Amino acid sequence: MEKTATEFTDKQLAIIDAAQKLFAESGFDGTSVRDIAHEAGINVAMISYYFGSKEKLMEAVFEQKANHTRIKVENLLQNENLSPLEKVNVLIDDYVDKFIAQQEFHRIMIREQLIEKNNAVATLIYELKKRNQDSIKKLIHEGQKGGAFKKNIDIVLMMTTLVGTVSQMITSQRFYREMNHLEEMPEPEFQKYIRKKLSAHLKNLFKVILTYEA
Amino acid sequence: MEKTATEFTDKQLAIIDAAQKLFAESGFDGTSVRDIAHEAGINVAMISYYFGSKEKLMEAVFEQKANHTRIKVENLLQNENLSPLEKVNVLIDDYVDKFIAQQEFHRIMIREQLIEKNNAVATLIYELKKRNQDSIKKLIHEGQKGGAFKKNIDIVLMMTTLVGTVSQMITSQRFYREMNHLEEMPEPEFQKYIRKKLSAHLKNLFKVILTYEA
Amino acid sequence: MEKTATEFTDKQLAIIDAAQKLFAESGFDGTSVRDIAHEAGINVAMISYYFGSKEKLMEAVFEQKANHTRIKVENLLQNENLSPLEKVNVLIDDYVDKFIAQQEFHRIMIREQLIEKNNAVATLIYELKKRNQDSIKKLIHEGQKGGAFKKNIDIVLMMTTLVGTVSQMITSQRFYREMNHLEEMPEPEFQKYIRKKLSAHLKNLFKVILTYEA
Amino acid sequence: MEKTATEFTDKQLAIIDAAQKLFAESGFDGTSVRDIAHEAGINVAMISYYFGSKEKLMEAVFEQKANHTRIKVENLLQNENLSPLEKVNVLIDDYVDKFIAQQEFHRIMIREQLIEKNNAVATLIYELKKRNQDSIKKLIHEGQKGGAFKKNIDIVLMMTTLVGTVSQMITSQRFYREMNHLEEMPEPEFQKYIRKKLSAHLKNLFKVILTYEA
DNA sequence: CATGAATGAGTGTTCATTCAT
DNA sequence: TATGAATGAACACTCATTCAT
A33 CA → F15 C1’, Å: 9
Q: How confident is the model at residue D1 (pLDDT cuts 50, 70, 90)?
A: very low
Decide: C95 and C11 in contact? Cβ < 8 Å: no
Query: What stretches of chain D adopt beta strand conformation (E)?
Result: none
Decide: D101 and D195 in contact? Cβ < 8 Å: no
State yes or no: pLDDT of A24 exceeds 50: yes
State yes or no: pLDDT of D2 exceeds 80: no
Q: Where are the domains of chain C?
A: 55-210
Q: Does D1 touch chain C (CB under 8 A)?
A: no
User: pLDDT, tens digit, for every residue of D80-107?
Assistant: 889 999 999 999 999 999 999 999 999 9
Taking CB atoms and an 8 Å limit, are B168 and A154 in contact across chains? no
d(CA A52, CA C169): 59
- pLDDT for C214 equals 53
d(CA A171, CA B113): 6
Decide: A171 and A110 in contact? Cβ < 8 Å: yes
* B156 contacts in chain A (CB < 8 Å): 175-176, 179-180
Which residues neighbour A97 within 8 Å (Cβ) at sequence distance 6 or greater?
A195
CB contacts under 8 A, C 23-62 vs D, are 24-30
State yes or no: pLDDT of A213 exceeds 80: no
- pLDDT for A1 equals 41
Interface mutation target, options B35, B165, B170, B178, chain A, most CBs of A under 10 Å = B165
Q: Does A117 touch chain B (CB under 8 A)?
A: yes
Taking CB atoms and an 8 Å limit, are B25 and A171 in contact across chains? no
State yes or no: pLDDT of D197 exceeds 60: yes
Which residues neighbour C9 within 8 Å (Cβ) at sequence distance 6 or greater?
none
State yes or no: pLDDT of C81 exceeds 70: yes
User: pLDDT, tens digit, for every residue of A184-212?
Assistant: 999 999 999 999 999 999 999 999 889 87
State yes or no: pLDDT of C2 exceeds 50: no
Q: How confident is the model at residue C1 (pLDDT cuts 50, 70, 90)?
A: very low
Decide: B211 and B88 in contact? Cβ < 8 Å: no
Three-class HEC string of B18-48: HHHHHHHHHCCCCCCHHHHHHHHCCCHHHHH
State yes or no: pLDDT of A171 exceeds 70: yes
- The alpha carbons of chain A give a radius of gyration, in whole angstroms, of 19
Biggest distance spanned by C-alpha atoms of chain D: 60
C48 CA → E11 C1’, Å: 14
State yes or no: pLDDT of D170 exceeds 90: yes
D187 CA → E3 C1’, Å: 58
Question: How far away is chain C from the Cα of D87, in angstroms, using its nearest Cα?
Answer: 19
Three-class HEC string of D95-121: HHHHHHHCHHHHHHHHHHHHCCCCCHH
Q: How many CB atoms lie within 10 A of CB D37?
A: 18
Burial of B153 (0-12, 13-18, 19+ CB in 10 A): middle
Q: How confident is the model at residue A67 (pLDDT cuts 50, 70, 90)?
A: confident
What element of type H or E holds B17?
Answer: helix B10-26
For A67, which DSSP code? G
- pLDDT for A135 equals 86
Burial of C189 (0-12, 13-18, 19+ CB in 10 A): exposed
User: pLDDT, tens digit, for every residue of B47-85?
Assistant: 999 999 999 999 999 999 988 888 888 888 888 889 999
* B28 contacts in chain A (CB < 8 Å): 29-30
D25 CA → E18 C1’, Å: 28
d(CA A116, CA D102): 64
State yes or no: pLDDT of A3 exceeds 50: no
Decide: B88 and B210 in contact? Cβ < 8 Å: yes
Q: Does D193 touch chain C (CB under 8 A)?
A: no
Homologous superfamily (CATH) of A55-210 is: Tetracycline Repressor, domain 2 (1.10.357.10)
- pLDDT for B57 equals 96
User: pLDDT, tens digit, for every residue of C24-77?
Assistant: 999 999 999 999 999 999 999 999 999 999 999 999 999 999 888 888 888 888
CB of B32 under 7 A from strand E? yes
Strand F: positions under 7 A of a protein C-beta atom: 2-19
d(CA B65, CA C77): 77
